[in-house]
């Protein structure tokens, strides 16, 4: 009996000894680990999103800024364990979103500490949530930035924001699920500049994950606000372009030939950018995508049209360089060209009679170019048209640009089959009809290249980036491409013809001649199988030292000289006046 007691005492003694050793090990050797674990449960790292940068026009006028808005967020760890708060939140908000929230929370499990449940909520809901704060465990209210548009303009080129998708996570650096990023336009192209860098601070939380206080003494990092993006767009010119397109379908693109900066880029009809600033309602989205006028389509660079007679300078350049015609070449235009059993009409009923090269551009004689196309052939025409940058994207610094189409024999064989297309197709292509397609942006750059006597500017919307930390300015560096194989003499002849379009007595836009503006241009009409023809005009000014090149298309406008040309001249006139005022302000010294 005594031996058993001794054994039991020894056993209990060993057990107590082991417990003391274990407690000592945990308290002395492992204390740091458990203190860290306790702090991890007690302390929450709260990330702070930076303030998104502004978007401004070339003169520093704000196009896009930020306004505060309220967002309801949920703690993923707590709400995935207990959905009671979600049920109460749904009851308070009067919606039916709990299944949607549960899906979001389930996807975020293990990867995110919190998710956005409702964005851009009104003050009444915020007050109701605050009133039930103790019951809504795992639910918080955050103040975030929402895009605001002081002037509702340029919606297509500015773009909009939205929550990042799984696909975009791999494309964007340093972003996570739930972040708001650029989806289109400038907002997308320069998202990383506009975003800035995230910061963080430390908060003490209770057992339910609700914040108690901000912890001082722990090293926090302030968010670095995004850089401001300055565009080449001139707000006054942009507003004028949109005003002149009001009630029409079409596009205006104005470019500075000296550096490729886009001065105005208007597509009509347009949409209200505020629609995408907050939470996009499904009804609003449905209305936009089902609108027969297609307001979401950016006609400036996504709309493709036959360029009509605007193409004649590129075709004539090929004829001159290949010695197929010269300045004295004369063609008789009876008002049509007979090719086999088909009759190809000139736009002028009754014809132009005997007409030479310069007058063929001035009066836009189709028959002259019918004859030239038969001499050149489709591949030689395509070669020279492509030299001017057509049939390929311009490389503008926002996504979504269409390349247009320059048909050659390979394309025609693919479309119609070898031997299944005829010389009649050449006649249509020579006057910018048939399979030939281009965007208004391409034609504006084409006009700038002509104004530059063969130097193609790469169009861009970025003027420069203003960084805030550290504070410095980084300007955009213009890029150019020289048109090879077209001589200065050829360019001078092409430009003389464009000059006569406006200044000549028989020019197709002579009635718009303004003695105060030395402009050149070209009218065009694009055939439209679905209704009235589309109206084109390109123009630049001043003739000897161009500061602006403009392209306008008016869908169903019928005649370039009456529907599109007046818009071009209004924009040129406005810009030249602004340039004069700016120049005068720079040279005028203050008195005293």
Low-confidence winner among 35-49, 280-294, 442-456, 481-495 (lowest mean pLDDT): 35-49
Domain contains 138? yes
- pLDDT at position 128 over 70: yes
475 burial type by CB count under 10 A (0-12 exposed, 13-18 middle, 19+ buried): exposed
State whether 169 and 251 are in the same domain: no
Q: Work out the pLDDT band at 252, boundaries 50, 70, 90.
A: very high
CATH number at residue 576: 3.40.710.10
State whether 308 and 323 are in the same domain: yes
In this prediction, residue 527 carries a pLDDT of 83
In this prediction, residue 201 carries a pLDDT of 66
State whether 123 and 243 are in the same domain: no
139 vs 463, residue with greater confidence: 463
pLDDT mean across residues, the chain: 86
Q: Work out the pLDDT band at 103, boundaries 50, 70, 90.
A: confident
Distance of CA 26 to the CA centre of its chain: 60
Assigned token pair, 363: 């009066």
Domain contains 21? no
Calculate mean pLDDT across residues 47-57: 89
**CB hemisphere CA count around 340 (13 angstroms):** 6
Assigned token pair, 483: 């048109």
Calculate mean pLDDT across residues 442-452: 98
Contact between residue 197 and residue 312 where contact means Cβ atoms under 8 Å apart: no
- pLDDT at position 126 over 70: yes
Calculate mean pLDDT across residues 281-286: 70
Calculate mean pLDDT across residues 537-552: 97
In this prediction, residue 63 carries a pLDDT of 97
- pLDDT at position 65 over 90: yes
Low-confidence winner among 137-146, 306-315, 358-367, 575-584 (lowest mean pLDDT): 575-584
Is 487 in a helix, a strand, or coil? coil
537 burial type by CB count under 10 A (0-12 exposed, 13-18 middle, 19+ buried): buried
Calculate mean pLDDT across residues 123-145: 82
Highest mean pLDDT among 69-78, 151-160, 167-176, 229-238: 229-238
State whether 245 and 226 are in the same domain: no
The radius of gyration of the chain's CA atoms, rounded to the nearest angstrom, is 34
In this prediction, residue 205 carries a pLDDT of 62
Calculate mean pLDDT across residues 292-303: 89
Q: 213, 231, 249 — which closes off a domain?
A: 231
In this prediction, residue 591 carries a pLDDT of 42
Q: 180, 213, 231 — which closes off a domain?
A: 231
551 vs 147, residue with greater confidence: 551
CA distances from 568 to 388, 571, 573 (A): 21, 5, 9
**Dihedrals φ, ψ of 33, to 5°?**
-60, -45
In this prediction, residue 212 carries a pLDDT of 59
- pLDDT at position 489 over 60: yes
Domain contains 259? yes
- pLDDT at position 101 over 90: no
- pLDDT at position 24 over 70: no
Share of the chain above pLDDT 70, in %: 88
Contact between residue 88 and residue 56 where contact means Cβ atoms under 8 Å apart: no
- pLDDT at position 290 over 50: yes
In this prediction, residue 29 carries a pLDDT of 61
Q: Work out the pLDDT band at 592, boundaries 50, 70, 90.
A: very low
In this prediction, residue 519 carries a pLDDT of 96
Q: Work out the pLDDT band at 530, boundaries 50, 70, 90.
A: confident
| Angle 293-402-509 from CA coordinates, rounded to 5° | 70
Domain contains 120? yes
- pLDDT at position 418 over 60: yes
57 vs 284, residue with greater confidence: 57
51 vs 133, residue with greater confidence: 51
State whether 385 and 406 are in the same domain: yes
In this prediction, residue 206 carries a pLDDT of 60
Calculate mean pLDDT across residues 347-365: 94
Sign of CA dihedral 495, 501, 503, 507: positive
In this prediction, residue 588 carries a pLDDT of 55
In this prediction, residue 204 carries a pLDDT of 66
State whether 77 and 160 are in the same domain: yes
Q: Work out the pLDDT band at 72, boundaries 50, 70, 90.
A: confident
Domain contains 39? no
State whether 106 and 251 are in the same domain: no
In this prediction, residue 287 carries a pLDDT of 73
State whether 117 and 264 are in the same domain: no
Q: Which residue has the tokens 């196009």?
A: 63
State whether 555 and 528 are in the same domain: yes
State in Å, rounded, how far the first CA of the chain is from the last one.
Answer: 119
Assigned token pair, 585: 């302000």
In this prediction, residue 392 carries a pLDDT of 97
**Biggest CA pair distance of the chain:** 139
Q: Are strands 336-339 and 330-333 parallel, antiparallel or unpaired?
A: unpaired
What's the whole-model pTM score? 0.86
- pLDDT at position 479 over 50: yes
In this prediction, residue 393 carries a pLDDT of 97
State whether 243 and 189 are in the same domain: no
Total domains present in the chain: 2
Tabulate helix, strand, coil % of the chain (nearest 5): 40, 25, 35
Calculate mean pLDDT across residues 115-140: 81
State whether 262 and 316 are in the same domain: yes
- Closest-CA residue to 317 (of 364, 393, 376): 376
Q: What is the DSSP code string of 366-398? A: HHHHHHHHHHH-HHHHHHHHHHTTTTS----SS
**Dihedrals φ, ψ of 414, to 5°?**
-65, -40
Q: Which residue has the tokens 């397609």?
A: 437
Domain coverage including residue 96: 52-198+222-231
Q: What is the pLDDT of residues 213-225, one digit of tens each?
A: 666 666 777 788 8
State whether 394 and 429 are in the same domain: yes
Q: Work out the pLDDT band at 46, boundaries 50, 70, 90.
A: low
Q: 212, 231, 250 — which closes off a domain?
A: 231
CA dist., res. 94 & res. 116, Å (int): 18
Share of the chain above pLDDT 90, in %: 56
Contact between residue 263 and residue 232 where contact means Cβ atoms under 8 Å apart: yes
Calculate mean pLDDT across residues 295-315: 95
In this prediction, residue 308 carries a pLDDT of 95
Domain contains 119? yes
Known catalytic residues are 309
Domain contains 99? yes
Highest mean pLDDT among 95-99, 340-344, 397-401: 397-401
Contact between residue 230 and residue 56 where contact means Cβ atoms under 8 Å apart: yes
In this prediction, residue 485 carries a pLDDT of 96
Domain contains 145? yes
Is 190 in a helix, a strand, or coil? coil
């Amino acid at each position: 009996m005594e031996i058993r007691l001794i054994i039991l005492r020894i056993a209990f003694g060993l057990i107590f000894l082991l417990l003391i050793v274990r407690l000592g090990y945990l308290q002395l050797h492992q204390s740091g680990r458990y203190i860290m674990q306790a702090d991890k449960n007690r302390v929450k790292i709260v990330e702070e999103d930076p303030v998104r940068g502004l978007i401004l026009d070339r003169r520093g006028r704000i196009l896009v800024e930020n306004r505060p808005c309220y967002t309801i967020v949920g703690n993923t760890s707590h709400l995935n364990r207990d959905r009671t708060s979600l049920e109460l939140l749904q009851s308070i908000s009067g919606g039916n979103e709990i299944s949607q929230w549960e899906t979001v929370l389930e996807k975020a499990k293990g990867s995110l500490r919190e998710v956005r449940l409702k964005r851009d909520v009104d003050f009444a809901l915020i007050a109701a949530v605050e009133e039930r704060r103790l019951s809504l465990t795992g639910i918080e209210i955050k103040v975030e930035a929402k895009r605001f548009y002081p002037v509702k303009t340029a919606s297509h080129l500015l773009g909009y924001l939205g929550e990042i998708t799984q696909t975009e996570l791999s494309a964007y650096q340093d972003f996570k699920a739930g972040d708001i990023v650029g989806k289109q336009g400038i907002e997308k192209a320069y998202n990383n500049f506009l975003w800035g860098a995230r910061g963080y601070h430390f908060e003490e939380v209770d057992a339910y994950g609700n914040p108690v206080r901000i912890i001082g003494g722990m090293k926090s990092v302030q968010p670095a606000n995004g850089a401001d993006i300055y565009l080449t767009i001139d707000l006054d010119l942009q507003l004028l372009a949109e005003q002149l397109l009001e009630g029409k379908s079409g596009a205006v693109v104005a470019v500075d030939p000296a550096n490729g900066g886009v001065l105005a880029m208007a597509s009509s009809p347009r949409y209200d950018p505020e629609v995408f600033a907050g939470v996009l309602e499904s009804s609003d989205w449905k209305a936009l995508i089902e609108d027969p006028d297609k307001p979401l389509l950016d006609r400036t660079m996504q709309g493709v049209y036959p360029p009509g007679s605007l193409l004649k300078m590129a075709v004539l350049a090929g004829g001159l360089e290949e010695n197929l015609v010269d300045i004295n070449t004369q063609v008789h235009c009876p008002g049509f060209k007979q090719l086999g059993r088909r009759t190809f009409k000139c736009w002028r009923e009754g014809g132009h009679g005997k007409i030479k090269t310069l007058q063929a551009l001035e009066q836009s004689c189709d028959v002259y170019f019918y004859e030239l196309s038969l001499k050149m052939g489709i591949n030689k025409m395509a070669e020279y048209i492509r030299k001017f940058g057509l049939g390929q994207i311009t490389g503008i610094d926002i996504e979504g640009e269409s390349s247009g189409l320059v048909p050659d024999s390979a394309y025609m064989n693919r479309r119609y089959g070898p031997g299944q297309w005829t010389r009649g197709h050449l006649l249509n292509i020579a006057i910018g009809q048939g399979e030939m397609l281009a965007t208004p942006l391409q034609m504006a750059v084409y006009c700038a290249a002509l104004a530059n006597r063969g130097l193609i500017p790469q169009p861009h919307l970025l003027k420069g980036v203003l960084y805030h930390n550290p504070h410095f300015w980084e300007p955009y560096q213009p890029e150019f491409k020289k048109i090879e194989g077209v001589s200065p003499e050829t360019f001078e002849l092409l430009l003389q013809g464009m000059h006569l379009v406006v200044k000549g007595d028989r020019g197709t836009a002579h009635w718009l001649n303004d003695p105060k503006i030395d402009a050149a241009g070209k009218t065009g009409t694009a055939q439209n199988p679905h209704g009235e023809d589309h109206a084109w005009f390109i123009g630049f000014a001043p003739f000897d030292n161009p500061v602006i090149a403009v392209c306008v298309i008016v869908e169903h406008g019928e005649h370039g000289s009456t529907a599109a040309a007046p818009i071009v001249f209004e924009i040129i006139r406005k810009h030249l006046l602004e340039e004069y005022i700016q120049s005068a302000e720079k040279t005028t010294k203050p008195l005293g």
